[in-house]
Amino acid sequence: MAEDGRAVKGREPELSPSDLRKLYALMVTTRAADLKALNLQRQGRMGTFAPSLGHEACQVGSAFALQPKDWVFPYFRDLGTYVTLGFPLKNYYLYWMGNEEGMRIPSDLNIFPISVPVGSQLPHAVGLAMALRYKKDPAVVVAYFGDGATSEGDFNEALNFAGVFHTPNVFICFNNQYAISTPVHRQTAAKTIAEKAAAFGFEGIRADGNDVLAMYVLTKGALEKARSGGGPTLIEAFTYRLGNHTTSDDASRYRSETEVEEWARRDPVERFRLYLKSKGLWDKAFEEGIQKEAEEQINKAVEAAESTPAPRPEDLFISTYKEMTPELNDQLSDLQDLLKGGPR
Amino acid sequence: MMLNMVQALNQAMHQEMERDDKVLVLGEDVGVDGGVFRLTNGLLEKFGKERVIDTPLAESAIVGTAIGMAAAGLRPIAEIQFMGFIYLAMNQIISHAARLRNRSRGRFSVPIVIRTPYGAGVKALEHHSESTEALFCQIPGLKVVVPSTPFDAKGLLVASIRDEDPVIFLEPTRLYRAGKQEVPETLYEVPIGKAKIVREGEGVSVVAWGAMVPVVEQAAETVGQSGLFPEVIDLRTLAPLDRQTVLDSVKRTGRLLIVHEAPKTCGLGAEIAAFVAEKAMFQLEAPILRVTAPDITVPLAKGEDYYYPSAERVARGIQRIMEL
């Protein structure tokens, strides 16, 4: 897809019109759900969170290529991935409102909870892939991370293991060009992140991360390769973070308005809308329909999240170990007594 | 059969891997070489390279991949070659192994064992003599286990492999080949979280673990000649602590001496002293004392004898507390 949404001849994926429209609906839902979270945060109804604005194409496009049994290790800015995989929005809001219940992943979804220390989920993704291969399970393991993560030891250790053990992994780096304030050229002297794959002995691909179809096609290819024993792939999705790093960040301290405006013109959602329109798959009625559906879904999720009670003291204790220890029981009783106004 | 600790641990892994094909071993030099201390000897030949995995040299990824394997239902035993190198994996241990059960509200758990040799007394290189168990004991979600005999080593390792939570399994390097003991051929568990009174006595309870247990026993022999008969407790599990056994003993004897080869400040002895003071202060007949390593970097071979408590120092500690 060209920047203005025109099709690039011969390179379009074989997706049905209904799938193409579904992709767009997922991107629209992601954006609306993200903006809703931002509004809630500004109203004091949501804690600090990492907005996904601008990442709709790379997240939705790659996640759309997954099969239901494939495993996903998201990073902390991955709303589009969640929306695409059918992770309940209620859980997403609940987690960022400060309730661990939100990271209770439904048992039919092979998604890992968010790993906040940057890049540290990558070894888990490799270990899980090694286990799947040992169990003769054909699923593939996808791990998402940002450009900052590529400077971490765990990125290098994990991709090295993946290369050595030829694991069924797809590593997808959302290079949005900033790790909080640090631009990607201060993160690495390499020209691209994709080329780092060469050091680990496998293929690295640079993708236009604002092109949902390119992300879909490249991810699908890497998944097929991994599934058929071809080993891991690193995909660098070159994109831009249109929002702040988190709601506690002020991106104007480290990047110019003109730069942001320049990237806002390359809005991935608008670009795909133009594509669909050129194919005769988009009109106002369709847009209004999916906007309305997204809004209803989001409002329901927010309501459900906000009406979820805060955790009870025992909820904070019982998942420390499989069984409570005597000391934990004592400490819990002490807290419960205090709350009941019981014995000192 | 008479086995030393290396043989007992090796047998435990052989038998557990035979029993359960979800158990596997990974680490540096654990396969072809059988481990630098030969702990994993013969496993590769018997179970193949899919289950006995020689990894690249990367501690964080060894633990991190083990976490991912555990999430997929396997029971990996990850070997860290020396405790002095485990710090490279600390983020994986603290941020993930210990927390994944809680973070996922129980959907995922991390039933891994991280085995590592620890402790001074073998005239090793720098970073090969660490005894920093207390670092792990402060982390909710981790279990910390330290055997002091071949029998306990086998039973505790079996229990650790079968445990549903991550276990840091510390093997006292000094005791690896220190002596043999009758170890049953059959598989058995020594329960995690249960201390053992290795010598019943009176007047003072001496609490120790790992390589300090035989040192304390030797000291008890020495002071026995002057009519002192200390009670000796081998904690065996450092997290969760068997507080009850320690408290019951101290209430009976009236005194508490803690011996560890880790530095004194914020060592596990501090926690033991604190909970005994909280629960049994008025049954004490003397202040609680500690015999530990000083708060210095572990010396190299030539200075090592000044560092970890000797039987002589422990005997002096016992005599001192009895005079208070």
**B280 to chain A, minimum CA–CA distance in Å?**
16
Give the pLDDT score at A12.
Answer: 87
**Catalytic pick among A77, A206, A245, A271:** A245
Q: Which two tokens stand for residue A135?
A: 């169990």
Give the pLDDT score at B77.
Answer: 98
What are the residue ranges spanned by the domains of chain A? 17-309, 312-344
**Catalytic pick among A42, A254, A265, A312:** A254
Residue in B255, B272, B275 with CA at minimum distance from that of residue B320: B255
Name the DSSP letter for residue B146: -
* Fold (CATH) for A17-309: Rossmann fold (3.40.50)
User: Which residue of chain B has the CA closest to A122?
Assistant: B64
User: How far, in Å, CA of B48 to CA of B184, rounded?
Assistant: 26
The ipTM value here is: 0.96
Q: Which residues of chain B have pLDDT under 70?
A: none
Residue in B61, B103, B143 closest to A113 by CB: B103
**Residue whose token pair is 């002293």:** B273
Active site residue B127: no
Residues of A in contact with B145 (CB under 8 A): none
Query: Can you point out the beta strands (E) in chain B?
Result: 2-3, 23-27, 52-54, 75-79, 113-118, 143-145, 167-172, 181-182, 196-199, 205-208, 231-234, 237-239, 256-263, 289-293
Q: Cβ distance B246 to B278 under 8 Å?
A: no
Give the pLDDT score at A344.
Answer: 58
pLDDT by residue for chain A (344 residues), tens digit each?
A: 998 998 888 888 999 999 999 999 999 999 999 999 999 999 999 999 999 999 999 999 999 999 999 999 999 999 999 999 999 999 999 999 999 999 999 999 999 999 999 999 999 999 999 999 999 999 999 999 999 999 999 999 999 999 999 999 999 999 999 999 999 999 999 999 999 999 999 999 999 999 999 999 999 999 999 999 999 999 999 999 999 999 999 999 999 999 999 999 999 999 999 999 999 999 999 999 999 999 999 999 999 999 999 999 999 999 999 999 999 999 999 999 999 986 55
Residues of A in contact with B74 (CB under 8 A): 131, 134-135
Give the pLDDT score at B123.
Answer: 87
**Catalytic pick among B14, B96, B127, B128:** B128
Domains in chain B, start-ordered, CATH in brackets?
A: 2-182 (3.40.50.970), 196-323 (3.40.50.920)
Give the pLDDT score at A175.
Answer: 98
Residue in B283, B288, B252 with CA at minimum distance from that of residue B270: B288
Residue in A326, A203, A210, A127 with CA at minimum distance from that of residue B62: A127
User: How far, in Å, CA of A313 to CA of A64, rounded?
Assistant: 39
Q: Which residues have a Cβ under 8 Å from the Cβ of A310 and sit 6 or more positions away?
A: A99
Give the pLDDT score at B274.
Answer: 98
Residues of B in contact with A129 (CB under 8 A): 68
Amino acid present at B4: N
Active site residue A124: no
Q: Is A229 helix (H, G, I), strand (E, B) or coil?
A: coil
Q: What are the residue ranges of helices labelled H in A151-196?
A: 153-165, 184-187
Upstream peptide bond of A88 is cis (omega within 30 degrees of 0): no
Give the pLDDT score at A8.
Answer: 86
Residues of B in contact with A325 (CB under 8 A): 193, 240
Taking an 8 Å cut-off on Cβ atoms, the answer to whether B56 and A112 are in contact is: no
Length of chain A: 344
Give the pLDDT score at A162.
Answer: 98
Instruction: Tell me which residues of chain B, numbers 192 to 231, contact chain A at a CB-CB cutoff of 8 Å.
Output: 193
Q: Which residues have a Cβ under 8 Å from the Cβ of B89 and sit 6 or more positions away?
A: B59, B60, B62, B63, B64, B80, B114
**B90 to chain A, minimum CA–CA distance in Å?**
11
DSSP letters spanning B68-128: HHHHTT-EEEEE-S-GGGGGGGHHIIIIIITTHHHHTTTS-----EEEEEE-S-S---TTS
Give the pLDDT score at B233.
Answer: 98
B116 touching A, CB under 8 A? no
Name the DSSP letter for residue A343: -
Name the DSSP letter for residue A113: P
pTM, entire model: 0.96
| Number of DSSP helices (H) and strands (E) in chain B, helices first | 11, 14
Q: Cβ distance A133 to B108 under 8 Å?
A: no
Residues of B in contact with A163 (CB under 8 A): none
Taking an 8 Å cut-off on Cβ atoms, the answer to whether A160 and B56 are in contact is: yes
- Give, in degrees to the nearest 5, the angle at Cα A245 between A242 and A251: 70
The secondary structure element, H or E, covering residue A234 is: strand A233-238
**Which residue, among B62, B69, B100, B137, would best test binding to A if mutated, counting the most A CBs under 10 Å from its CB?**
B69
